[in-house]
Every structure is written in C-alpha cells, then in structure tokens.
Amino acid sequence: MRLKELLNPNRPIGIFDSGVGGLTVAHAISKSLPNEKIIYFGDTQHLPYGNKSPNKIIYYSEKITHFLLTKGCKAIVIACNSASSTALKQLTDQTDKKCILINVIDPLINAIIDNPSIKRIGVIGTRATISANTYEKKIKAKRQDISVSSLATPLLASLIEEDADESYQQKVVDAYLSNEKLKNIDALILGCTHYPLITQLILNYYNNKIILFNVSKYIGPLMKEKLKKENLLIENGKINKHDFYVSDYTTNFQEKTKLFFPSAIILKEENIFS
C-alpha cells in the first residue's frame, strides 16, 4: 500500500534536532516548499546529542518521532547528524508504512559521490557522529577513490547554542581546522546541522578556498522529490502556519528562530519524556 493511500497531502512535515541546528534544515525546507506546514521539535532539554550515549540518542529520537507521528506528519526529517548516524535503523522501523523518513547524511553522500573532482574530504561533527563513522563507511561503499578524514569537534555545537563571542568562536574553529587530519583536503563536510551557522568562520580559515558540503543545500529538493513521488506534495495553496515545540523553553532558542523565520514563531514547551 502506498503512503498516499494512508496519508493526506495536507498533513505537516515533522523536523527534529537537539537544538537550533535543525532550524537550518527547517528553513531550507520551507524555502523549497513554501506551502507546506512544518512541525519542529527542538530537544533543548538534552542538547547537544553529540556527547550522549547511543542508547540515549536512540531513546530521545524514538520519543520525538512518536510525538511527530501523533501530530500526523506525512514526513519526518532527522535534522541531527548524531541521531541520523545512531538511530536511523530504529526510526526506520518505527516509521515504516507510516510516513516518509529522511536523514541528513545520505543527501550529502549522494552529492559527494556525484562530484568526480573530490578526492580527499574532511568531516567535522560531534563525537557521536564521528564515532559512528557513518560518513566514511557510506562514501567508501560508493567511491573507493575518496580519502576520508574525520575529526570530532565537540565544542562547536555548544558555542553556537550559547552565542559565544565571534572572535572566540573563530579561535576555536581555527584550532580544530588546523588539525593534521584535515590538511590538504579538497572539501569539508559540515557533519552537524549547527555548523552552517558558522560557515563564514570556516571559510575565513580556508580563505574561501574550500568546497563545503552543507545539507541545507540538498534537503529541500530531496524532500520535494520524495513527496512528489508519493503524491503527497502540496503544489498550491496558502502558506501554512508552522508549529515549533521545545522540551525546555529558552529565550535564546526563541531569538534564534527569528534568524530563519522572521514572522513571529511562538515556541511551545512540550515535555514528552516524562
């Protein structure tokens, strides 16, 4: 049975992350699909996921996915690399025949393997993402000629969440990127959805002479393609009001939403873990 027979195109798209990083994904999807309603869940109570155990990441992800399914989502985006690399199998089983499920790793893998000029690529991400080694495994499965060097950059997500001073952020970014593992790379994967928020700091280090792979560039068109395939795409109609939930309300997160959604977003605190 096709999803079209189970779902209504007017149902929303669910997106979740541990914090503000997923807003980069939500923004990209809303730009590509302006008529679609988004339900976003930021697990601010447990951020960042990158320093949590695999069992905890899976537990949090399953709880949020259940919440989004109860909201009738026709598609769910795991807008977190740590969750995408750790909990994908469990969430695939949980959402089977219930909705479309998209992670933020595969769109980047597809873009990389389609680019013949890439021979040596770096990956920066949280400890959980780098420990899972998902990027290297998936790239090597399709392109043996690409050398992959991965580096855990655990401080970056927290610095972004906390709005640390930009000059201090630049020093931390420079310290990470100067690591021997990332020397002589052709391109760099931003393996955390928070990192697009510091794109300029990364480009500063490389004097703008680096190819950056950022999932925000690919996630919107991919979502459109998936919805169209299942006849679940809203082609026309009024722009729907989005719903944004967090597990722990913070004024910082409220302010961050304005960077991506200038019209007023009212955050709702929802304790789904008790």
Neighbours of 54 (CB within 10 A): 14
Q: Does 99 participate in catalysis according to the annotation?
A: no
Q: Is 2 exposed, middle or buried (0-12, 13-18, 19+ CB in 10 A)?
A: exposed
Tokens encoding 91: 């969430």
Asked if residue 83 has pLDDT above 60, the reply is yes
- Do the beta carbons of residue 192 and residue 124 sit within 8 Å? yes
pTM: 0.94
pLDDT digits (tens, 9 = 90+) for 138-155: 999 999 999 999 999 999
pLDDT digits (tens, 9 = 90+) for 100-124: 999 999 999 999 999 999 999 999 9
Beta strands at 187-191 and 211-213: parallel, antiparallel or unpaired:
parallel
What angle separates helix 134-142 from helix 106-113, to the nearest 10 degrees?
Answer: 40
* Set 15, 23, 28, 80: catalytic member: 80
Which domains are seen in the chain, by residue range? 3-103+217-269 (3.40.50.1860), 106-216 (3.40.50.1860)
* Set 124, 192, 201, 222: catalytic member: 192
Taken in order 43, 81, 106, 104, is the CA torsion positive or negative? Answer: positive
At 253, the amino acid letter reads F
Higher-confidence residue of 240 and 160: namely 160
Number of H helices, E strands in the chain: 12, 10
pLDDT digits (tens, 9 = 90+) for 234-256: 977 766 789 999 999 998 899 88
Asked if residue 1 has pLDDT above 60, the reply is no
CA-wise closest residue to 13 among 195, 260, 240: 240
- DSSP 8-state assignment for residue 240: P
Neighbours of 65 (CB within 10 A): 25
- Do the beta carbons of residue 193 and residue 22 sit within 8 Å? yes
pLDDT digits (tens, 9 = 90+) for 10-56: 999 999 999 899 999 999 999 999 999 999 999 999 999 999 999 99
Residue 72 CA to residue 54 CA, distance in Å, equals 27
Taken in order 74, 78, 84, 89, is the CA torsion positive or negative? Answer: negative
Q: Give the rounded distance of the alpha carbon of 101 from its chain centre.
A: 13
